[in-house]
Amino acid sequence: MNVDGTPYRTIWTTGDDRTVRIIDQTKLPHTFTTTDLTSLDDAARAIADMLVRGAPLIGATGAYGMALAMRTDPRDENIANAYETLFATRPTASNLGWALDDLRQRLLVTSENDREAVAYKRASEICNQDVDACHSIGVHGAALISSVWEEKGQPARINVLTHCNAGWLATVDWGTALAPIYKAHEDGIPVHVWVDETRPRNQGASLTAWELSKHGVDHTLIVDNVGGHLMQHGDVDLCIVGTDRTTAAGDVCNKVGTYLKALAAQDNGVPFYVGLPHSTIDWRINDGIHDIPIETRAEREVTHIAGKTEAGETIEVQLTPDNTNALNIAFDVTPARYVTGLITERGICNASTEGLRGLYPEKAA
Amino acid sequence: MNVDGTPYRTIWTTGDDRTVRIIDQTKLPHTFTTTDLTSLDDAARAIADMLVRGAPLIGATGAYGMALAMRTDPRDENIANAYETLFATRPTASNLGWALDDLRQRLLVTSENDREAVAYKRASEICNQDVDACHSIGVHGAALISSVWEEKGQPARINVLTHCNAGWLATVDWGTALAPIYKAHEDGIPVHVWVDETRPRNQGASLTAWELSKHGVDHTLIVDNVGGHLMQHGDVDLCIVGTDRTTAAGDVCNKVGTYLKALAAQDNGVPFYVGLPHSTIDWRINDGIHDIPIETRAEREVTHIAGKTEAGETIEVQLTPDNTNALNIAFDVTPARYVTGLITERGICNASTEGLRGLYPEKAA
């Protein structure tokens, strides 16, 4: 999408087509800067330290991490080493394992001499497929937004609430939850987004507000506590969020706090949709609450926060009394019964085994 | 309660018994300091700028504001002026109107010469009654915590989740939601508190974590998004929150985000209790969602935050992209159907017209 009129992706190759360039998302919203990944370790650190984040973009970066590894050492041992190093970076997003499995499988049946080229080619394909998938999610989701807007008599604005960042910054381009919003905006539908700030890392305040602003989409920031009140008062027409892992039965694991918004949507009759490419579906599991590994992150993300001073410097400040203990759970699971529908690249389906198998019949056991 | 071993109240008179001293809560948790109120305007500013906050403490400060006004000008015109000035400071808390009504009524039937003395005496009584009421809430609530702890087989810790600050800092002493926790702690029950940080003003992170720490009660800070996940996994035994206004039918208006926790409690079979003195009950209304005025505060409370630098200085930093619009809704309403019970100074009742009238028969129309 656009940054001040210039189209960007979140990850691309540059120079010799071997260096991988990314937007350093830890510097947003105060500084827009790119950084180069030239090794497996660079890629692993970029994921672990969240220079890149968002399930689809983590998958894409994992694929390029495998390619960077093949550049210096294409032996089987290094395929295993790269796989393990990258897989260990973050536990929850399904796309990472999906992309790594894909690369490993292809590389192991490729001669050592060709592995670098095959890995780069496949990583690039994964990126392009993600863009295509997200674009399709956008088309299907925009039709949904349009129909809700029509049903309500074409009000002056249609209000979509989203949690965290599932925009183009979370994918290679377009986004999952935000792709329908960008497409609806392109189609001239007066979409307005309630942006949950999404504590503790504030991906809503830092990333979603930034990317919507840069692309020119109307939005208002709210703290995570406010969505329920807005729904009680009819100020939310629908919710659309992303997902880091979706079970075969339609349970949705997404940024912590998503579940609370789904409960409020249910209580107030607000449709609650989830945008996802097939790569976030974990076909091996059904029960999200018990079977999805939930990442616990550093306490400091809760007790401290980075912001911009009046002088324009970005610094970290402490929010709590000294020595306060904090627990930093990164994701939660929304049971399928609270999800109105899944917006995939193949269309919209019920959040259920039947719904997903209807769209992905090749996955039916 | 104790601050490093010294017992404190949140408001008291000093010197000539005419100067009103408060803890400046805007400086917590990084600095513990008191400030003196010597005029009506001081009192109004202390409420509006949230040097004092919490429904019962707002009521107590309002009462002393009337007394400070009588000190310089005891005429009827100044009773009206003081009432209006104080009433305009904050719209949601029921206790403010309750205390101001009480003072006005008494002062109007008192001779001008006696008004100052009567006002100070009544403000002091209101404070003492609040302490007594909160202590009783503590006794009733601690019995509840104890019974849940017994039912669960006396686990090594019993987990209570609270939102915002309804501790002694929100009242004159003891607190409403936290009074049961302090009493249970005194009784040797191993209570552990999940403290919601409570964006945007972070009263949980700044005040609840601070007062529990100073009094020595075990607690862990979480972001507001996490409570649902903890309840799904059995890590919350009960929720106790405060309220700024309770309707005659048991709807509870409290810090925004309370409603989301109540929904999660309901979804996971976790008891959800509200601690309150009678002064927060608005007997004139039933439907909280439609009839309680909800305060909207400055956008800057969402887009900026204060914290402590490494050098120990408290500064404000910007969290969002420049020029981000924010909506800052301060309270929400939890419908009575999601409230397991109300813990009052007279005992625990159902959140319903019948429940409240059973405890307060004198209010039955």
Tell me: the pLDDT tens digits for A280-337?
Answer: 999 999 999 999 999 999 999 999 999 999 999 999 999 999 999 999 999 999 999 9
* End residue of a domain, out of A128, A145, A179: A128
Q: Are residues B88 and B183 in the same domain?
A: no
Q: How does strand B245-247 pair with strand B252-255? A: antiparallel
Distances in whole angstroms, Cα of residue B175 to Cα of each of A41, A67, B178, B357: 52, 59, 5, 23
Contacts of A309 in chain B (CB under 8 A): 315, 317-318
Query: Tokens at residue B193, please?
Result: 């508190």
Contact B304 A309 (CB under 8 A): no
B209 and A319 within 8 Å at the Cβ level: the answer is no
Q: Which residue of chain B has the CA closest to A294?
A: B229
Angstroms from B318 CA to nearest CA on chain A: 5
Supply the pLDDT for residue A364.
Answer: 74
Find out whether B100 and B87 touch, Cβ atoms under 8 Å. Answer: yes
Shared domain for B292 and B336, answered yes or no, is yes
Q: What does the pLDDT average to over A229-240?
A: 98
Task: Give B93's pLDDT tier (boundaries 50, 70, 90).
Answer: confident
The yes-or-no verdict on residue B365 having pLDDT over 70 is no
- Express each pLDDT in B225-254 by its tens digit: 999 999 999 999 999 999 999 999 999 999
Task: Tell me whether residues A225 and B256 touch, CB distance under 8 A.
Answer: yes
User: Do A221 and A345 belong together in one domain?
Assistant: yes
pTM of the model: 0.96
Contacts of A53 (CB under 8 A, 6+ apart): A25, A47, A165, A170, A203
* Cα gap A159→A191, rounded to integer Å: 6
pLDDT tens, position by position, B13-38: 998 889 999 999 999 999 999 999 99
**Chain B residues lying within 8 Å of A331, measured CB to CB:** 229
Residues of B labelled catalytic: 244
Statement to judge: residues B170 and B285 lie in one domain: yes
Residues of A with catalytic roles: 244
SS3 A214: helix
How far, CA to CA in Å, does B189 sit from each of A109, B146, B181, B234? 62, 7, 9, 19
Residues A160, A60 within the same domain:
no
Residue B339 has pLDDT above 80, yes or no: yes
- Minimum Cα–Cα distance from B233: chain A residue: A289
As a whole number, mean pLDDT of residues A245-253 equals 98
Each residue of B101-133: pLDDT tens digit?
A: 999 999 999 999 999 999 999 999 999 999 999
Residue A233 has pLDDT above 70, yes or no: yes
Average pLDDT value for residue range B327-346? 98
**Of B102, B128, B154, which marks where a domain is finished?**
B128
Do A84 and A112 share a structural domain? Answer: yes
Q: A214-223: per-residue pLDDT in tens?
A: 999 999 999 9
A107 & A185 share domain? no
Give the mean model confidence (pLDDT) for residues A222-238: 98
Spatial neighbors of B77 by CB under 8 A, at least 6 apart, are none
Task: Find the CATH number of the domain harbouring B20.
Answer: 1.20.120.420
Residue A315's DSSP bridge partners are A307
Pair A251, A347 in one domain: yes
Looking at the fold, whether A229 and A321 belong to one and the same domain comes out as yes
pLDDT of B258 reads 98
Q: How many domains does chain B have?
A: 2
Check whether B67 has a pLDDT greater than 80: yes
Query: What's the confidence (pLDDT) of residue B15?
Result: 81
pLDDT at A40 over 90: yes
Percent of chain A with pLDDT over 90: 96
ipTM over 0.90: yes
Q: CATH number of the domain that B207 lies in?
A: 3.40.50.10470
**Quick one: pLDDT at residue A93?**
86
Q: Which residues of A46-84 are buried (b: 16+ CB within 10 A; e: fewer)?
A: bbeebbbbbbbbbbbbbbbbbbbbbbeebeeebbeebbe
**Domain termination residue (choose one: A128, A154, A182):** A128
Which of A263, A303, A315 faces B263 most closely, judged by CB atoms?
Answer: A263
User: For residues A193 and B25, what is the distance between their CA atoms, to the nearest angstrom?
Assistant: 34
Q: How far is A316 from chain B (nearest CA, A)?
A: 7
Chain B CB contacts of A4 under 8 Å are none
Residue A365 has pLDDT above 90, yes or no: no
Residue ranges making up the domain that contains B334 = 137-363
DSSP symbols for A113-146: HHHHHHHHHHHHHHHHHHHHHHHHHHHHHHHHHH
Residues A76 and A198 reside in one and the same domain? no
pLDDT at B364 over 90: no
Average pLDDT score over residue span A56-78: 98
Interval B132-151: pLDDT, tens:
999 999 999 999 999 999 99
Note the pLDDT tens digit of each residue in B167-198: 999 999 999 999 999 999 999 999 999 999 99
Q: What is the mean pLDDT of residues A230-258?
A: 98
Please tell me whether residues A96 and A32 are part of one structural domain. Answer: yes
Chain A residues inside the 8 Å CB shell of B308: 317-318
pLDDT in tens, B279-292: 999 999 999 999 99
Is A149 found in the same domain as A6? no
| Cβ neighbours around A6 below 10 Å, total | 8
